[in-house]
Structure 1
Amino acid sequence: MQVAVEFSPLPKPSQLEQWFSVVLAAHPNDQRTEMTVRFVEEDESRTLNHTYRGKDSSTNVLSFPFEAPPGVPLPLLGDLIISPHVVEREALEQHKPLINHFAHMVIHGTLHLMGYDHIEDDEAEEMEALERQLLAQLDIPDPYALDAP
């Protein structure tokens, strides 16, 4: 866990590990078991989002998959960059507990690292269904429900 932001409360490392573990348990054949989570200010999020996605705005979570050199097996999944100020704003707007939204963003971002996407409707349905399932294991309500707490 890397912290490059003035924000409190951030999730504890044990919470990050729990959320990450739920995703790994759903993918038992995936040998990649390590990742970095970096919490950043909105300006860093905006710069990275602009540089790598062509979008000139900060965002909640960015996923950067690790690409191992051919023939070099490493357990690295990649990096998540999370802007807690954006996550907090979204949680307030969506009337969700902040910690639940952090959990959702970590799970969402980790699924991106594993190759899931939501560009096409069928991909989005698959990814969101898995997110719902994994969050339910943590007793977190469906984040996509219109009346989610």
Structure 2
Amino acid sequence: MALPSLSLSLQFGALEDAAPHRAALPRHKVVRWIRHALDADAEITVRVVDAEEGQALNRDYRHKDYATNVLTFDYATEPVVMADLVLCAPVVAREAADLGKPLAEHYAHLLVHGTLHAQGWDHETGEEDAQAMEARETAILAGLGEPDPYRRD
């Protein structure tokens, strides 16, 4: 079965130390991770930002005054998925270190997570939805040869 097509814009904001984030996010891997999470063709922008930009976006659009790991802006078009995924580099790096995971592995999880949000999946609507979304993420990542992101050793 052919994967959906993806038009991707990969952007890096003004990061203090962009090198490890650029190394963890080569374009071909970002395309692979996102395409495996898609159910339809898509136009997606992935923007990697610093804590200041991440916090401003989270505050302005979600009314939560802190930087979070990933924000999904879904433009609800059909039949093409259109979305912006904003990843906050310092938050992602801190979480990866806290979890003892390689940075690229954590980015893969968050890109799959954000892509599912762009298609209507929501873990904040109840425990059943959260479990379904986690199971879908785990299955997608397993298909990519990535470990279960929710497994805690």
TM-score by length of 1: 0.87
- The number of equivalent residue pairs is 138
Q: Which residue of 1 aligns with 2:32?
A: 18
Identity %: 40
Displacement after TM superposition at 1:139 (Å): 1.3
Cα distance per residue 1:100-145 (max 9 Å; x no partner): 0000010000000000000110110000000000111111111111
Displacement after TM superposition at 1:54 (Å): 1.1
**Match among 102, 113, 125 for residue 97 of structure 1:** 102
Q: Which residue of 1 aligns with 2:3?
A: none
Q: Which residue of 1 aligns with 2:93?
A: 88
The CA distance in 2 between the partners of 1:128 and 1:86, in whole Å, is 20
Q: Which residue of 2 aligns with 1:79?
A: 84
Q: Which residue of 1 aligns with 2:127?
A: 121
Tell me the secondary structure at the aligned position of residue 146 of structure 1.
Answer: coil
Stretches of structure 1 lacking an aligned partner (at least 5 in a row): none
Amino acid in the other structure paired with 1:99: A
The CA distance in 1 between the partners of 2:13 and 2:79, in whole Å, is 26
The question of whether the paired residues in 1 share the 8 Å contact of 2:81 and 2:118 is answered with no
Tell me the secondary structure at the aligned position of residue 31 of structure 2.
Answer: helix
Stretches of structure 2 lacking an aligned partner (at least 5 in a row): 1-9
Question: Are 1:50 and 2:59 counterparts?
Answer: yes
The CA distance in 1 between the partners of 2:142 and 2:33, in whole Å, is 11
Amino acid in the other structure paired with 1:144: Y
Displacement after TM superposition at 1:5 (Å): 3.1
**Match among 123, 143, 152 for residue 146 of structure 1:** 152
Tell me the secondary structure at the aligned position of residue 91 of structure 1.
Answer: helix
Question: Are 1:59 and 2:76 counterparts?
Answer: no
Cα distance per residue 1:51-89 (max 9 Å; x no partner): 111111001100000144xxxx67342100011111110
